[in-house]
Chains A and B, each alone.
Chain A
Amino acid sequence: MAWLLGDVTLHQRQFAPIAVIPNGPLSFKEGRMNSKQDGKFFHLSPAARSTLGRLLRYTVVRLITLFITVVIGVYLTILIANMGGYVDQIRRAQIREQVAMQLQNDPTFRTLPEEQRQQLLETRIRNEEKRLGLDKPFLVRSFNYLWDALTLNLGRAENMTSDSGSRQVRLIILERLPATLVLFGTAQVVLFALSLFIALHLSRNYGSWLDRLFVALSPLSSAPGWFYGLFLIIIFAAWLKWFPFGGMVSVPPPENPIEYALDVAYHMVLPLTALTLSSIFISVYSWRTFFLIFSSEDYVEMARAKGVSPRTLERRYILRPTLPTIITSFALGVIGVWMGAPIFETIFNWPGLGRVLYQAIQLFDTPVIVGSTVIFAYLLAITVFLLDIIYAIVDPRVDIGGGRRA
């Protein structure tokens, strides 16, 4: 940008500063005329348009990247679950043994001459291997598995059935997904809003007794949600009998959709409280600290000097620049909560994905375990994707690799 250096005088001469600057801050006649002229060219300001374009590009790029991540993750799971193809050898041996046993038990087979018996055995084995797809090399099949997994063609469960009685792993999982999403989605939203509100309040009243209380209580967040769940169930379900022990709806469930929703909300009180208790103190503590750090930035002081009202100051100069940091911290928390889902849902008898995984592990139902892993990979990717998009909206510094903007 060498041309910018020393061009002050040039600019000043060109635009005759005395004439350009009106006498007082309030004479804007020229400005008004100009703005009318270019007003008809666009509804969106150029700033808004570039934000939209940037976001769109960014979204597409992020989607592709995340999809590749999921593909790699699932493929690695397939490779590991198949021990890099070694499982094939085990299965071939199993098939050979099985087919041989079958033929041994067949009386007509025993009467055949040796050469023919051998031929028949090999043909049967080949057919069986072909039926199971073992005739193709492992590398080819690993990609078939990958395709099946990604398209949620997850096969049939060995022991478990879905709530509607299907053996399809996909149905077993997808029928449980809404319950998990309702519980954890609500928990995340409540947690985010509550933490943000309290953290802002504390940063405003830094050093107050409430502030010190939250700081002192932050070690409580070292225990997972289900730990608090146990106590909440003992106190509020067993002892006080205010809330149900677990489950998602009463038995029988209410017919009216509004009553149904209220019933679900009623069942969600304890799980939500448990999840909130386990996360809120640490997130309030760390977010309040973020706010305090960011509110000592020079631009906050500058805005104060400018006469920005205290509310706008908090919103535009403290909250906005801090949001990226907060979203990062929140994203890590969300991922942590996903990981605790199996135990948490089991404690509260919540008919969600976590409990399916827990049951599948108990029953050694491999297809369901693998299927759940795939679904969790998708859920994680979607979570990260959504947070990335929000991140890009709140922070213009996120590099979207789109080149120069006007």
Chain B
Amino acid sequence: MSNNGSSNSLVLKVEDLVLYFRTTKGVVQAVDHVDFELAKNRAVVIIGESGCGKSSLAKGILRLLPRNVHTYTGRVYLEGQEIMGLDEETFRMKIRWVKMSLVPQAAMNALNPVLRVSDQVAEALLIHYPNVSKREAIERVREMFRYVGVPDSFLHRYPFELSGGMRQRVAIAMAMITRPPLIILDEPTSALDVLTQANIMNVLKQIKWETGTSYILITHDVATSSELADDVAVMYAGQVVEMSDAASFFKEPLHPYAKMLMAAVPKLRGDDDLEFIPGQPPSLLNPPKGCRFADRCPYRMAQCEINPPMFRVGDRKVRCWLYEKDADGIYGTHPEPLEQAHV
């Protein structure tokens, strides 16, 4: 095992993760050389607009790849163990749902419509723990349902007989049933009304508090995510552009994109006019060679023609030339020398 990932307090360490998709129009660089890490019992929120590659990042970590994968490389350490090199069967039996689970986007469709919810939740347990009997598994499902607030009478129902909020709770119960150290939440509340959102967030907070689970929360809803976040990672056009602890980030984001993103979030008090970010994010088919945000950036300078590395600024990391002077060093792998060689 490599030194890189063996730090005990880290649940997850992603190094140089690349995930490209092949399409008829060309290669989409959905996840482009992403590095990040997540400590035990912490929640990192990955924010970014639609199509910035945040769901692809989750898929890359979970190895849920569609047919049209072009490139899939990098190293992922889960509790110190490198998992990218594992073969499919080992990954399925030893990693999937044992080490990390998923609460999917739109839980409406995340449950098989022709199977009872109890069976679907119990299935996860039965696959990975063959010595657990069916009846014990169902009993455990009942406990989990109570824990996340699904009434007992819903146990043997079909997904279509449940409301959206209940389905999302079932999905959370499913993600927790094997007690994995890491749960990836892919927009867990975006399809729900505000009250239900708040309830689900409370459930998630409680779980984190009581079980010590770590979360990766993927969302574009900055306001809701701020409740749960310990750390924040901002994604833009397939790259992580800023990583900070939540407190400093929400107080003062570093990256120009993050600044403008936060300025576009309505606040409860204060009547500042909301700002917007002019222009469109670049196409991931053929992203610009330099900084990907340069075209929309008010601080643009000559250096932006070259792709900036992740600069360490204190405990925070930011991918912007503005912080070159303040930087303590460079974080992660930087593909730039390779690209410069091409230019």
Contacts and interface: CB of A to CB of B under 8 A. Distances in A.
Nearest to A28: B136
A212 to B, nearest CB: 16
A394 B202 CA distance: 37
Contact of B92 (A298, A307, A316, A394): A307
Interface residues of A, number: 51
Contacts of A305: 62, 64, 96-97, 101-102, 104
A35 B114 contact: no
B153 interface: yes
Contact of A4 (B127, B139, B151): B151
B106 interface: yes
Interface in B70-109: 92-93, 96-98, 101-102, 104-106, 109
Contact of A11 (B114, B125, B140, B149): B149
Contacts of A25: 125, 129, 132, 140, 177-179
A335 to B, nearest CB: 25
Interface centre among A12, A31, A320, A395 (most CB of B within 10 A): A31
B112 A303 contact: yes
A321 B113 contact: yes
A209 B14 CA distance: 39
A301 B146 contact: no
Interface string A33-46: 01100010000001
B325 interface: no
B199 A5 contact: yes
Given A21-B143, A34-B139, A304 B206 contact: no
Contact of B109 (A4, A8, A32, A299): A299
Contacts of B211: 21
Interface in B109-150: 109-116, 118-119, 123-125, 127-129, 131-133, 135-136, 138-140, 143-144, 146-149
Interface in A1-25: 1, 4-9, 11-12, 14-15, 17-18, 20-21, 24-25
A8 B202 CA distance: 8
B160 interface: yes
B336 to A, nearest CB: 34
Contacts of B144: 21
Interface centre among B114, B174, B195 (most CB of A within 10 A): B114
A152 interface: no
Contacts of B289: none
Contacts of A7: 149
A206 interface: yes
B215 to A, nearest CB: 15
Interface string B158-169: 101101011000
B196 interface: yes
A316 B116 CA distance: 12
A25 B156 CA distance: 22
A26 interface: yes
A139 interface: no
B10 interface: no
A405 B139 CA distance: 20
B156 A50 contact: yes
A20 B106 contact: no
A273 to B, nearest CB: 34
A193 interface: no
A25 B123 CA distance: 13
Nearest to A10: B149
A308 B178 CA distance: 14
B136 A9 contact: no
A302 to B, nearest CB: 5
A324 to B, nearest CB: 8
A18 B206 CA distance: 11
B67 interface: yes
Given A31-B136, A298-B110, A406 B64 contact: no
B313 interface: no
Contact of A406 (B93, B112, B149, B153): B153
A225 to B, nearest CB: 33
B112 A39 contact: no
Contacts of A298: 104-106, 109-110
Given A21-B143, A47-B116, A301 B129 contact: no
Interface in B274-299: none
Contacts of A12: 147, 149, 206
B199 A306 contact: no
B179 A397 contact: no
Given A14-B146, A304-B96, 5 more contacts: A26-B132, A305-B104, A307-B98, A396-B113, A396-B158
14 contacts: A1-B163, A9-B202, A14-B146, A15-B143, A28-B136, A297-B109, A304-B64, A306-B96, A306-B124, A307-B128, A394-B114, A397-B114, A397-B158, A405-B157
Interface of B: 62, 64, 67, 92-93, 96-98, 101-102, 104-106, 109-116, 118-119, 123-125, 127-129, 131-133, 135-136, 138-140, 143-144, 146-149, 151, 153, 156-158, 160-161, 163, 165-166, 174, 177-179, 195-196, 199, 202-203, 206, 210-211
Q: Give the 10 A-B residue pairs with the shortest CB-CB distance, closest first.
A: A307-B96, A31-B139, A298-B109, A35-B135, A8-B149, A28-B136, A299-B112, A305-B102, A31-B136, A47-B156
